[in-house]
Amino acid sequence: MLIRRPDDIPSSLITPKDQYLNRRRFLRGTASGLATAGAAALGLDRLANVISPRTRAFAGTKLETVKSPLSTTGEQLTSLEDITHYNNYYEFGVDKGDPAKNAGALPTRPWTVKVEGLVKQPKTFDIDALLKLRPLEDRVYRHRCVEAWSMVIPWVGYSLSEFIKQCEPLSNAKYVQFLSYYDKHVEKWTNESTIFWPYSEGLRMDEAMNPLTLLTFGMYGEVLPNQDGAPVRIVVPWKYGFKSAKSIVTVKFVEKEPHTTWNDQNGREYGFYSNVNPNHDHPRWSQKTERRIGQPFYAQRKATLMFNGYADQVASLYNGMNLDKYY
């Protein structure tokens, strides 16, 4: 059974109730320098602070990781506090702070990923089996949202291509579709938008097989916080962030380009490819620059890089494609 019994949890991980309540008050915005310093010093417990009791048993679980040559260097990491309190996860509310407040409702165990469609044989993978499939790598990636802000995130996972090999797709599988968890009884905030759920995303087969595409299980050496897409998501660092689907439950191999949620909402604004491209503006704002999250308000905007700076690894996928047409 995956659910740890109380005597399995070392007492060092159990937060005294008054401290726990104090941290919740802190998270609700009654900030003070002392509280910030205190929380920062808490090491192991830090991820346990940011989600509510239901999945706290798994929060802060450390993952054994190895270094990866595919990790991005030379960038300052965005703080865990910012990565876990500035999220677009509309199933849990449309404000940036809502997922941190509400995603505690997401049940991350038990969890399976179904593999369907054009494969040799449909399979179901348990999350714990997926965690053991390949060594987990530390991969720092830039993360660029279509809203023109960006972060630098130390993800934990392995290349999606390793998982795809296990799925044994047929030769006519040209695309991979990802479906995220959806339960309207759990995700009670879906009426804050007119989006149809579950969240659907997709990649072309060669994009999915690119070594950069990460089947992601954690960040900062620990399991993913719920609001960041626990327990398993993909990260496609050269595309706008909404392509990196969260909390995946189904992987489907298909022949035709699958529908994707944001493209359904507005095809003119959100194309299937959505490669980071400073030369192709969003209809409502320029994509030439971005705000790096965690900087003071007077900080300069950064110039956006083609393919989010990963052109060396991915530009060849789009040789001959008109990226203004296939945005």
Q: Interface residues with other proteins (CB under 8 A)?
A: 31, 33, 78, 81-82, 85-86, 90, 94-97, 149, 191-195, 265-266, 269, 281, 284-286, 291, 293-298, 300-301
Token output for 92:
């849990």
- Asked if omega into 107 is within 30° of 0 (cis), the reply is no
Token output for 283:
């209809």
Give the Cα separation of 294 and 48 in Å (integer).
Answer: 21
- Minimum Å gap between C-beta 299 and other proteins is 8
In whole angstroms, how large is the CA radius of gyration of the chain?
Answer: 19
Nearer to other proteins, 240 or 318 (CB): 240
Query: Which residues partner with 275 through β-bridges?
Result: 239
- Minimum Å gap between C-beta 52 and other proteins is 20
Give the Cα separation of 50 and 75 in Å (integer).
Answer: 25
- Minimum Å gap between C-beta 24 and other proteins is 17
Nearer to other proteins, 213 or 263 (CB): 263
Q: Which of 135, 129, 2, 143 is nearest to 61 (CA)?
A: 2
- Minimum Å gap between C-beta 191 and other proteins is 8
For strand 214-219 and strand 149-159, is the pairing parallel, antiparallel, or unpaired? antiparallel
DSSP assignment of 115-179? EEESBSS-EEEEHHHHHHHS-EEEEEEEEE-TTSEEEEEEEEEEEHHHHHHHH-B-TT--EEEEE
Nearer to other proteins, 82 or 183 (CB): 82
- Minimum Å gap between C-beta 152 and other proteins is 13
- Minimum Å gap between C-beta 296 and other proteins is 6
Q: Which of 73, 84, 69, 43 is nearest to 226 (CA)?
A: 84
